[in-house]
């Protein structure tokens, strides 16, 4: 019997879902992306249909310093309806202190990063390496859960093909108090390449009663639907696809919107300029504009001009020139 035959009911993209007593307006979520999922982007994703969008990855240990960089990563206000933060670390007591800090108190959902595969994170005993230390991972979840907040865990299926532990790991997450898990369907050694191993996400789903979201390799509506069908997941979490194509949230959830690439980028400039310094605005908008340009023909000639921009006013004019002629090309 195949995994799909074992799945009793395939959930639909765009459905509302309750997680730990908190209502997510859709089951299409935006993953944390370092350098990208800042407050303006999270607002955009939410408005376009994302059930939630997580902050960039934040070091639990760094919270004790209360520095400007961390404060900027954690900026939120009343415009963000569902506030979700992702923390990275390796020490349960550090997590417990972090979730009690003033900066974290304003968030509704705490996500624990147990899936990051990059070498520096692994060497520190953080991210995906916690899948090799299940007792420590359990204590971290319990520490976060004592905050009284909804707690989710983002993980992979294991460190390598010889150490796939997702069934045991998922059960540990549930028994330790996690309200949800998101499973990236690759091992650590696969990094971000190769077809996700759908059967192991399906295994995680069958192993627990809490919601399981699927992540990895989703770059189209067809891929999202395939992920749901093959895994039986309660929803999907987009990563690079969500940043390259924010209108994907409306596409996957069936939300009717009238936005174009131009209107989105100008709105992002306005929100970022309201909150952050000019250097931050320039850096962020240039990255966003570059992604928006990827599938739009005729934009190659603008790339040098984009990176030479030294003022927000110039950047606004250039974005209007780039995206004003064919607003919708390449985004859906």
Under a CB-based contact definition with an 8 Å cutoff, are residues 239 and 33 in contact? yes
Give the start-end residues of each E strand in 103-245. 109-114, 150-155, 180-184, 212-215, 235-238
Region of 138 please: left (phi>0), alpha (psi -120 to 50) or beta: alpha
The per-type count for the chain, helices as H runs and strands as E runs, is 16, 10
Verify whether residue 116 is a known catalytic residue: yes
Q: DSSP state, 233?
A: -
Region of 194 please: left (phi>0), alpha (psi -120 to 50) or beta: left
Out of 38, 84, 116, 309, pick the active-site residue.
Answer: 116
What length does the chain have?
332
Closest to 8 (Cα-Cα) out of 267, 191, 295, 229? 229
Q: Starting at the earlier edge strand, list the strands of the sheet with 212-215.
A: 28-30, 235-238, 212-215, 180-184, 150-155, 109-114, 84-88, 54-59
The residue written with tokens 């990895």 in the block is 216
Q: DSSP state, 326?
A: S
Please give the positions annotated as active site.
116
């Amino acid at each position: 019997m195949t995994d799909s035959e074992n799945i009793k009911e395939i959930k639909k993209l765009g459905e509302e879902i309750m997680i730990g007593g908190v209502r997510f307006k859709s089951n299409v979520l935006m993953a944390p992306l370092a350098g990208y999922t800042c407050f303006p982007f999270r607002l955009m994703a939410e408005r376009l249909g994302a059930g939630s969008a997580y902050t960039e990855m934040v070091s639990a240990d760094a919270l004790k310093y209360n520095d400007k960089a961390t404060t900027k990563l954690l900026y939120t206000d009343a415009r963000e309806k569902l506030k979700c933060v992702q923390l990275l670390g390796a020490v349960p007591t550090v997590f417990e202190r972090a979730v009690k800090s003033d900066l974290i108190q304003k968030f509704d959902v705490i996500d624990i990063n147990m899936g990051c595969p990059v070498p520096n994170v692994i060497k520190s005993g953080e991210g995906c390496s916690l899948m090799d230390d299940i007792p420590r991972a359990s204590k971290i979840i319990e520490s976060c859960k004592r905050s009284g907040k909804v707690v989710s865990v983002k993980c992979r299926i294991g460190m390598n093909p010889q150490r796939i532990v997702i069934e045991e790991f998922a059960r540990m997450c549930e028994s330790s108090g996690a309200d949800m898990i998101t499973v990236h369907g690759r091992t650590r050694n696969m990094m971000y390449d190769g077809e996700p191993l759908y059967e192991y996400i399906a295994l995680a789903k069958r192993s627990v009663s809490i919601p399981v979201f699927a992540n990895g390799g989703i770059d189209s509506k067809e891929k999202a639907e395939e992920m749901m069908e093959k895994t039986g997941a309660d929803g999907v979490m987009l990563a690079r696809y969500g940043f390259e194509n924010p209108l994907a949230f409306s596409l996957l959830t069936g939300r009717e919107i009238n936005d174009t690439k131009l209107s989105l980028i100008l709105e992002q400039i306005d929100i970022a300029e309201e909150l952050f310094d000019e250097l931050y605005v320039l850096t962020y908008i240039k990255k966003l504009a570059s992604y928006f340009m990827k599938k739009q023909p005729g934009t190659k000639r603008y790339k040098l001009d984009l990176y030479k921009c030294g003022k927000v006013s110039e950047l606004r004019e250039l974005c209007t020139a780039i995206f004003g002629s064919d607003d919708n090309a390449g985004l859906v």
